[in-house]
Amino acid sequence: MRIILLGPPGSGKGTQAQLLVQRYGIVQLSTGEMLRAAVAAGTPVGLKAKEVMAGGGLVPDEVVVGIISDRIDQPDAKNGFILDGFPRTVPQAEALDELLRHKHLKLDAVIELRVNESALLSRVETRVAQMRERGEEVRLDDTPEVLTKRLASYRSQTEPLIHYYSERRKLSTIDGMMAIDEVTRAIHRQLLALGAVEPKTHARSAAKSAPAKKAKTAQKQAKAAKKPAKAAKKTAKSAKTTKKAAKKAVKGTKKAAKKTVKKAAKKTAKKAVKKGAKKAAKKVTKKRAKR
């Protein structure tokens, strides 16, 4: 699953990206982090980026695309990725399309989190006022003035991507003003409609609640308890079979013995008759001889 999240600063892209990472087992690719990693690793594109950054210039699109290309070839990006901070412009989107085509990959979805800019500014103003009341330090990049500039930059540079991806039937728009969990559910529904499949391990962890886990444990315990009973039953059955076989064997032996005795008695009787007949005949012969 390869995804781009679009939306102005404060729309909740970072939060939703992390939730998608956990659910789908994919990686979040931040261009800033990738640039720093490439520079630290001393890769060819990293060295180019370092040279440009050292001179205070903006890293060219082709260098950023080269870094993304190297990054998505790594094993942890095999299941997919979420691009964070890229593309920001239409030329960058075109360069990304070309890169994915070259690698025989496709972009699955572009999710736009649509928000009310006035509401965002109001949120920041309230947060800053509360921090100042508590005596907390306010970040320089977390003020209504900075947000106003960032929103203007988003409208001029990044908003054209909405039309670009809409033309290519990749865009899905979600109301980013909803509660975080509602936005998450809406994104999940949209990804399912696009054919997203959760890895088994992530699907199980997302779908199963604590009671379900307890039920499974109880089921395992019951199954384990049944094993000795099943073994005992099998042993009893085996003993019964052995007893039956022994009984049959005894019966057979008795029958064979009876038959042998009967045969022996018959033979003895026959022998006795024969002997008696011989004796009688001899006696008769003797009497005749005397006459």
Length reported for the chain: 291
The residue assigned the tokens 């008759």 is 273
CB proximity list for 173: less than 8 A, separation 6 or greater? 112, 114
Q: Which residues lie closer than 8 Å to 146 by C-beta, 6 or more apart? A: 140
How many angstroms separate the CA atoms of 44 and 55, rounded?
A: 17
Q: At what angle do helices 44-54 and 31-41 cross, to 10 degrees?
A: 110
Taking the C-alpha atoms of residue 18 and residue 87, their distance in angstroms, rounded to an integer, is 18
- Which amino acid is present at 165? Y
User: Quick check: 80 and 1 in contact, CB under 8 A?
Assistant: yes
Active site residues: 13, 88, 127, 139, 150
CA–CA dist 40, 37 (Å, integer): 5
Identify whether the C-beta of residue 64 lies closer than 8 Å to the C-beta of residue 92.
yes
The Cβ of residue 125 has, within 10 Å, a number of other Cβ atoms equal to 13
Residue 64: alpha-carbon gap to chain centroid:
32
- What are the start-end ranges of the E strands in the chain? 2-6, 27-30, 81-84, 109-114, 171-175
